[in-house]
Amino acid sequence: MHVAMFQEVFAYNNWANKQLLQTLAPVNDTQLHTDIHNGIGSIHTTLVHMFSGIWIWRTRWQGGMPDTMLQPQDFPTLEAIQERWETEEHLMHNFLATLHDEDLLREIRYIGTMVPGKIFTLPKWKTMLHLTNHLTQHRSEIAMNLTELGYSPGELGMNVFFNR
């Protein structure tokens, strides 16, 4: 296991997330809050779910045990979402800078959010891969909806990031 690889994957996720957030500038409140029918709700709900995932996993990796996600109603505007997202990305960057290769193999215990009260144990590296994959899934859902609205975020693949 190599921390540098995870740092690069998270750098890609940060880049792709920023590309997506920039594309949202012309989206109005109605479009932001309309159920997109291909994910977990509206673009707004999906965005909060995404940075909530960043928050909850970083907190778990640092020894915390949060058992609920952040709530969409606590971030009513795109500006509120972007402000919290920037904070979470900064905290994640700082966390990743402290990791060592051997840390990736350490198991973490966490309380699941899908099955309340159930405790899971996995190596840190598996949960880190889960988060990056999960973010890709939700970026794709939002990108599909944005494209239908005429605001495609363009290519968000890793190859574009690696060759920029």
Could you give the CA distance from residue 6 to residue 97 in angstroms, rounded to a whole number?
A: 10
* Per-residue pLDDT tens digits for 127-159: 999 999 999 999 999 999 999 999 999 999 999
63: left (phi over 0), alpha (psi -120 to 50) or beta: left
* Per-residue pLDDT tens digits for 71-109: 999 999 999 999 999 999 999 999 999 999 999 999 999
Could you give the CA distance from residue 80 to residue 47 in angstroms, rounded to a whole number?
A: 11
pLDDT at 116 over 80: no
Q: How far is CA 149 from CA 22, 28, 122, in A?
A: 15, 11, 39
Q: Which amino acid, residue 34?
A: T
- What's the whole-model pTM score? 0.94
Which helix (H) or strand (E) is 110 found in, with range?
strand 107-111
